[in-house]
Amino acid sequence: FGPRGGEAMGLVLALLLISTVSAMILAGPRVLQVIGEDYRLFRFLARTNRDGVPWAAIVTQGVVSLLFIVTGSFESILVFAGFTLGLNSFVTVLGVFVLRRREPDLPRPYRTWGYPLTPLVYLALTVWTLGFLLVERPQEAGLGVAIVAAGALLYRVAGRPA
């Protein structure tokens, strides 16, 4: 599509990144707040001001974001975030198979279209993508694996929701 097509695509991608970052800025502290409400170990994240704004979660997200900005380039942060989100979505889709095996009689108000083929295709493509990133960008991918593993460990330590 030539230089004009590249510029147009760059503009579209920039707008998509802005909308994604905006959504994460808005949703992130609320997710942390709920984690704080559900798990005693993270109770401090549930603190709100008199208007119900989760200030502790906002500050926590801001500090983590600043750490990323100070320690990495835009590209490495993007690769890390993409890898980590991909790994989490892989585990989520894999959970569909686990749940159906463990709880075969559970009511299924939502049916996965094309099951089991569509989630299997998704899992295969995600493994391919994650594998590529592990080989090509081992530092960012390794950090993503470490963060997810630390989260799983903290989940075990934190116990059941309060």
- Tell if the pTM clears 0.85, that is, is over it: no
Terminal Cα distance for the chain, rounded: 55
Q: pLDDT band at residue 108, thresholds of 50, 70 and 90?
A: confident
How does pLDDT run across 65-94, given as a tens digit for each residue? 999 889 988 889 889 989 999 999 999 999
How does pLDDT run across 113-125, given as a tens digit for each residue? 899 999 999 999 9
Give the Å distances, CA to CA, from 55 to 46, 50, 52, 110, 144.
Answer: 8, 10, 9, 36, 26
Give the Å distances, CA to CA, from 89 to 32, 72, 92, 93, 148.
Answer: 18, 24, 5, 6, 12
DSSP 96: H
